[in-house]
Amino acid sequence: MSARRAAIAAVAAFAAFTMSATPAAARFDKKAPSKPTNLRLVATTTTTISIAWDAAADNSGKLSYEMHLWQDPRVPVVPQTQTSFTWTGLRASVQYFLYVVAIDAAQNKSFSDQLIVQTPRDTIAPNAPANLRVDSVTASQVALSWDPATDESAVASYAVFTPAGQIVAWAPGTSRKVIGLPPDKQFTFFVKARDYGGNISPASNTVAATTLPSNDTTPPSAPNLWVWDVDGCEVLAEWSASTDDQSEPAEIRYLLFVNDEPDPTEVVMGITRTVAYGSTTGPNTFVLKAIDAAGNVSVSNPVTLDLFCAG
């Protein structure tokens, strides 16, 4: 037999096997199962939704059910004998859209009506994070880590505090680096957890750390300052980020002074723009100071604008 005839014979044999492996009834079945009816809520918690429905029927006598939750990639499949299901891993205070699909062996489908369910609001705070510890210390940074908090739904984020208030923003994860600290100074830290319902845990244990002494006497590079008149007395100030031989860019603080007045606009570390205001009608001179973690200061170029400051 030639190679070409052998290839044709192999294809024909595979096709015959495929046809024989698929029941004839399924191959020619074009009729969808009846619609699953009476889709209803059985129970809900902050993280689960339990549903049930009345059984569908199919001319083949066999079908299964697909579970669908809008924008959820999971599509669980349950057997014909099961007419209830519980979705897990959900979030509190969220509206969910659910439906059920009956599917037979020939992949004919019928769809239930849609069910809209909102999970209850989460009112229970997480437990306090445990085992807060200091991992490392430099002249301007303290690295912290802790064991995860637990919650009846899920913990969304953590924040670091000192007795004076919050020092690191809310974010996921169980470790943080507190940066931009002055050298040779003791700090006390604690951590709180927050769940997706906005409930905040009690504080963790406290830890103390003293930043190392610093021999840094070099100021950051001087920033280049630009200022634009926005509206009347309001201006937008932007500048190039300073660099430093020891402090990270995110550790450099900026103070924007107007006409050498003693109350400057303080900018969040690492940010290189801010809205500010002139102090008088007429010429207003803006100057930016960059300050590294050791307290060394550099000064930008001055920028003068004529502003109209009514009232």
Q: Which domains does the chain have, with CATH numbers?
A: 31-118 (2.60.40.10), 130-210 (2.60.40.10), 225-307 (2.60.40.10)
pLDDT at 2: 54
At 147, phi and psi to the nearest 5?
-80, 145
- Cα–Cα–Cα angle for 228, 232, 233, nearest 5°? 75
Closest by CA position to 257, among listed 237, 240, 241: 237
Query: What radius of gyration, in Å, describes the C-alpha atoms of the chain?
Result: 33
pLDDT of 25 reads 54
Residue ranges for the chain with pLDDT beneath 50? 1, 6-22
- pLDDT for 174 equals 97
Amino acid 23: pLDDT:
54
pLDDT tens digit sequence for 145-196: 999 999 988 899 999 999 999 999 999 999 999 998 999 999 999 999 999 8
pTM for the model stands at 0.70
pLDDT at 262: 82
